[in-house]
Amino acid sequence: MSSSNKRAKLSDEGIVSDYPQAKAKAAKPRLTRACAECKKHKIKCFVQPGQTACNKCLKSGVHCVPHNFAQTFIDEDAVWKAQATARIDLLEDAVKHLSRHNGLPVLAGADGAMSALHSLSEPDRERSMQTLSPLSTGQSESVAGNFTPEGPSVGLRSHQDDSDLVPLPMNNLYNLTDPNNSQLIRVDPADINGPDFISQGVLPVSEAEFLFDHYRCYINPLLWDGMLCSHKSLHEARQSSSLLVAVVLTVAALHVPNREESLHITYGAFVSLMRGSCLLRCQNLDVIRGLCIGAFYLTSLSWALCSRAVRVATEMNLHKSSLQFARGSLESYERVRLWYVLYVCDHQFALAYGRPPLMHEDAAIRNAEKLLTSGLSSKGDHSLVAQVRLFRILASGYFMHGCDPDLELSGRDFEKLKEFDISVDQWRLENQSKEVGSVRDSLIPPAANALYYHLARFQLNAVALRGISARQASHDSISSLNMNWDRQEASNIAIMTAMSTVKLIVDDGDLQNVLIWLPIFLHAMIAVCASFLLKMAVVFGEPASENDGTLHLPKDLARYGLNFHTKTALTNVDRLVKVLGQVADNASQRHVVRQVVTGLEELLQRFSPCRNVDSFLYSLRRSKDPLSLALNGSKRQRVTGTDRDSLVQRHDGGIDRNYADETVTQINGPVQADSAQQQDLFDLTGDLDWRFDHGFLFGIDVIDSELTFL
């Protein structure tokens, strides 16, 4: 068919010829990428030559938005801006919260928020960024804001601790359920390491630096060569843990004279931080170290802090660190050491209070010596492992004999007691051999191990005197006391070690120089040994002929098979009181040694010489209360003018009534204010079984019975 017979094509402008000339004149509409309107209706988009809008938009009378290759980016940009705006709002709220926490003015707007961050000190700024980091990672506000999961900590809710077949019950529970539904605890994460009371101006930086340096120089080396505070400066410690800083400064202020105001501030800050962190999960080893330091030196908080430290450590799986260390994980070394510190701390106060320990003997404790063969051990590790071994022996004795003062030992019990006593002797010999030829560059004197040795033997053998009381001794015959050979032998060891403890303190000048900085467990045991000797002098006494409330004390106890001489015991205790009084001058008025001195002085004043040579009388009634003794003076009185004013002010209720916290005084059992009037806190005629008795150490302070927090 010829070309002339072809049908002409139609266009919007009429007939278009098939000839080339006609085709050149007829312009076709341009097909483009769909504009926004055509894309919306999903139709093809045509733009006529010379037009800027497509046919659809021209007919509809709408603005034609041509296709742009950046259109996708424009859409995404809108979403990003919306997300960024929401995130900035969260950041601004967080910065406002931090500003209020640190006592800074709340600045509005993004610029103000950044200004608030820059106005913080470096430690606070780093802490602020750590607090903001969960928000910047896209977590929801409900998770990263004011909630902490009730279940296992983040990162621990996994199967790393479980076998494939039998998982841990609670981990299995949280793995099967939605953890977000278990967030029952509403807390503020900023309370974990803050607020930093130093940056708030509560305590001057210069005073904080002085106290921190005092702790590092005198106290820290006595805790296994500085194992519990390795920070070289206050600035470094503040970056790690505010709780550690607070307890370090509190302990330092407790051991420096005339620092009562600083002690008040730092102690209050420490209690506040403890409250804020009790419901929070912790992953900071310095928090555990701080709790241990507090337990070693803050008397009324010792049990609560120790138990809290054990709980935090187990949540952080420190009890499994020894297994990892045995498999070659050198990173677990520090965690293993800290676990052994917790064992010593827990058993010191469990035995002192007569309570079962929280930590029991396991493979890690039995194989503690392996820490010394790792190549990483230091001289502090040797001392730590030695104490772990010693308290293993004492814990075995506790579980064998229990804590009931009325439960007398039988024949089999005395056999086990001898085995424990031999173990302590072996412990002493092994530690003596390690000290021979060594160059000592530590503050700890050689007599420190001897002190632990005597106290351990006293603690084991004193149970042999259970069941003996003044009533039984005065009304029963000697045979009815059941003073058989085994009981006499163990009782004589208890008497000898108590006397050796007192004489060691009196005669060893090096030990006296560091005594005030040693943990309160040693002070409590020294006080118990002294009171035990006074009880031994009284418990076998007989009523005087005048029947005037006095007891006539025997010169010795040879008739009972006991190597005890009354005059020697009273003389040594009197010398101990004088030495402890001099030691107490190097510490705060709140230090427990001052309470011990006051209590022992009051006891000694009840003894008076009799007409017979080396014979004494003991008064069953208190002649004067502690306040009148302090103000009227006596041959043993050492209270200064400043102390006198402090006593009067405290008696009048003028100061310090808010110094102690009601919650704190309830932790280990408060001392009732009326107890001094209802019973004699210095009654030595009770059972000879000893325990860490708050009535003896703190009940004597009837001047202000609320100040039982240290």
> What's the confidence (pLDDT) of residue 191?
47
Contact 675, 681 (CB under 8 A): yes
The b-or-e profile of 186-211 (16+ CB within 10 A means b, else e) is: ebbbbbbbbbbbbbeeebeeebbebb
> What's the confidence (pLDDT) of residue 678?
41
Percent of the chain with pLDDT over 70: 64
Is the confidence at residue 184, as pLDDT, over 60? no
Q: For residue 584, give the nearest of 254, 354, 278 by alpha carbon.
A: 254
> What's the confidence (pLDDT) of residue 580?
96
Contact 49, 29 (CB under 8 A): yes
Please tell me the distance from the alpha carbon of residue 656 to that of residue 300, in angstroms, as a whole number: 17
Percent of the chain with pLDDT over 90: 34
* More confident call, 186 vs 280: 280
- Going by the DSSP 8-state scheme, the letter that residue 565 receives in this structure is B
- The average pLDDT across 618-631 equals 53
Containing 192, the helix (H) or strand (E) segment is: none
Is the confidence at residue 563, as pLDDT, over 80? yes
pLDDT tens digits along 339-397: 999 999 999 988 888 888 999 888 889 999 989 888 888 888 999 999 999 999 999 98
Is the confidence at residue 469, as pLDDT, over 80? no
pLDDT tens digits along 283-299: 789 999 999 999 999 98
> What's the confidence (pLDDT) of residue 345?
95
Contact 298, 266 (CB under 8 A): no
> What's the confidence (pLDDT) of residue 309?
93
pLDDT tens digits along 55-85: 888 888 888 888 765 656 666 677 778 788 8
Number of other residues whose CB lies within 10 A of the CB of residue 545? 8
Q: For residue 32, give the nearest of 52, 13, 14 by alpha carbon.
A: 52
Amino acid at 56: K
Please tell me the distance from the alpha carbon of residue 514 to that of residue 442, in angstroms, as a whole number: 11
Instruction: For the full predicted model, state whether its pTM sits above 0.85.
Output: no
What average pLDDT does the chain have? 74
pLDDT tens digits along 7-57: 444 444 444 444 444 444 455 555 567 888 888 888 888 888 888 888 888
Is the confidence at residue 651, as pLDDT, over 90? no
Least confident range from 68-82, 187-201, 513-527, 654-668: namely 654-668
User: Which of 123-127, 351-355, 410-414, 519-523 holds the top average pLDDT?
Assistant: 519-523
Is the confidence at residue 618, as pLDDT, over 70? yes
* More confident call, 251 vs 148: 251
Is the confidence at residue 189, as pLDDT, over 50? no
Is the confidence at residue 6, as pLDDT, over 70? no
- The average pLDDT across 117-132 equals 48
